[in-house]
């Protein structure tokens, strides 16, 4: 399924978390926190300002981002969990 976010919304796929700690302890799924890091999969066109001009989104597909813990709306696309969130919910871009 293909999904195109509207306005200033983004489609973000959560990145998997490490299941083993540095000390070698395996953390079960029930005790793991959901990651707050993800990859931008799709980007909307941007929101409109008061004069009707479109303000482009500063992110692009493929960017790795950090977002707020409870940001966005969870959806499932082809069995994979994704989030639809506003650009304002993004806290930072992770640079390589």
The residue range of the domain holding 57 is 9-17+27-94
Is 58 a domain residue? yes
Q: Assess whether pLDDT exceeds 90 at residue 70.
A: no
CB 11 within 8 A of CB 41: yes
Q: Which residue, 80, 78, 76, 13, is CA-closest to 43?
A: 13
Q: Is residue 22 part of a domain?
A: no
What pTM does this model have? 0.77
For the stretch 17-29, pLDDT in tens is: 656 556 767 666 5
The answer to whether residue 40 scores a pLDDT higher than 90 is: yes
Residue located via tokens 């919304």: 9
Q: Assess whether pLDDT exceeds 70 at residue 85.
A: yes
Nearest to 11 by CA among 94, 92, 95, 80: 80
Judge whether 73 lies within some domain. yes
């Amino acid at each position: 399924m293909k999904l195109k976010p509207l306005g200033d919304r983004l489609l973000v796929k959560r990145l998997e978390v490490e299941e083993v700690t540095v000390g070698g302890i395996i953390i079960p799924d029930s005790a793991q926190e959901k990651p707050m890091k993800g990859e931008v999969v799709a980007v909307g066109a941007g929101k409109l300002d008061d004069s009707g001009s479109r303000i482009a989104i500063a992110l692009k597909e493929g960017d790795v981002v950090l977002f707020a813990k409870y940001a966005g709306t969870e959806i499932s696309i082809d069995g994979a969990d994704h989030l639809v969130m506003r650009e304002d919910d993004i806290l930072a871009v992770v640079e390589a």
